[in-house]
Amino acid sequence: MDKIDKLDTLRRVPAFSRLTEDQLIVLSASVGTQSFARDEMIFQQGSIGSALYIIVSGQVRILLLSEAGQEHTIAIFRTGDFFGELALLDGQPRSASAKALEPTVALMLHRAAFLHTINACPPIAAALLEAMALRLRQTNIYAEQLASRTAPQRVVRQLLDLALQHGVADAGATRIDLRLTQDDLASMTGTTRETVNRVLSSLRDQGLIRVARARVSLLNLPQLEHSLELW
């Protein structure tokens, strides 16, 4: 693994954007590094958690395993995102699993190092708690959408949200910079692969999206937003 500039990586993490340079230096001294192969499990649901991960490069899928053994995607994270943060606060078993979607390198902050670091630099804990509060709000919005929208509406809404979070400009379109399968979208929206296929086919026929190599590009965001009311 090439040498990683931990300090530079932390500077680019949105959750730590308000920390001063001195505070980032304190934090960088507490993190280690680890790499994961494509499809490697980073941690399993139910395992004892002890570390937060910050993605340096790659993509990670957070998933829940149902009693029937089915995987349900909760979120997909990429460079600059963090995950596994609850382990820093309570040290309890993991509430979900994490899997590398592609070769991934991450910084690791263990619970013991975190507790030591926040004693020396409390603003680090405040920054992390603020980011966690934002995630909780997003989770509440997601739960509300599951309850109040039809399955096709949830698929369209998920595409719009992913474009907002991970969209990049691409020849007049907004490409979701994630590798998404129909199974991923189905589990993220609490619906079936057949429903996702039907919705994507309809949107493609209307000229609202383009799909190529598991990458979805949104061609007309305002019209796609308007289409929510038509499903």
Domain boundaries, the chain: 6-146, 149-230
The CA angle 92-94-97, to the nearest 5 degrees, is 175
Mean pLDDT along residues 47-74? 88
Phi, psi angles (nearest 5°) of residue 51: -145, 150
Statement: 6-146 belongs to CATH 3.40.1500.10:
no
Mean pLDDT along residues 47-66? 91
Q: Which two tokens stand for residue 30?
A: 């507490």
pLDDT for 2: 52
DSSP 48: B
Q: What is the mean pLDDT of the chain?
A: 89
Sign of CA dihedral 174, 177, 183, 186: negative
Torsion angle (degrees, nearest 10) of CA 164, 168, 173, 179: -90
Mean pLDDT along residues 55-83? 88
pLDDT for 120: 85
Q: Is the pLDDT of residue 187 over 50?
A: yes
Calpha distance 217→221 (Å, rounded) = 10
pTM of the model: 0.81
The CATH class, in words, for 149-230 is mainly alpha
pLDDT tens digits for 81-139?
999 988 888 878 998 999 999 999 999 999 999 988 888 899 998 988 888 888 888 77
Sign of CA dihedral 129, 134, 140, 146: negative
- State the chain's maximal CA–CA distance in angstroms: 57
Q: Is the pLDDT of residue 207 over 90?
A: yes
Higher pLDDT, 145 or 27: 27
> Nearest to residue 26, comparing CAs of 108, 111, 120?
120
Calpha distance 214→67 (Å, rounded) = 28
Exposed / middle / buried, residue 111 (Cβ in 10 Å: 0-12, 13-18, 19+): middle
Mean pLDDT along residues 204-212? 94
- Is residue 1 very low, low, confident or very high in pLDDT (cuts 50, 70, 90)? very low
pLDDT for 175: 96
Torsion angle (degrees, nearest 10) of CA 127, 131, 137, 139: -150
Task: Report the interhelical angle of 122-148 vs 111-120 (nearest 10°).
Answer: 120
Calpha distance 37→58 (Å, rounded) = 10
Q: Is the pLDDT of residue 160 over 50?
A: yes
Q: Is the pLDDT of residue 54 over 80?
A: yes
Which residue type occupies 209? I
Q: Find the distance separating the first CA and the last CA of the chain, reported in whole Å.
A: 48
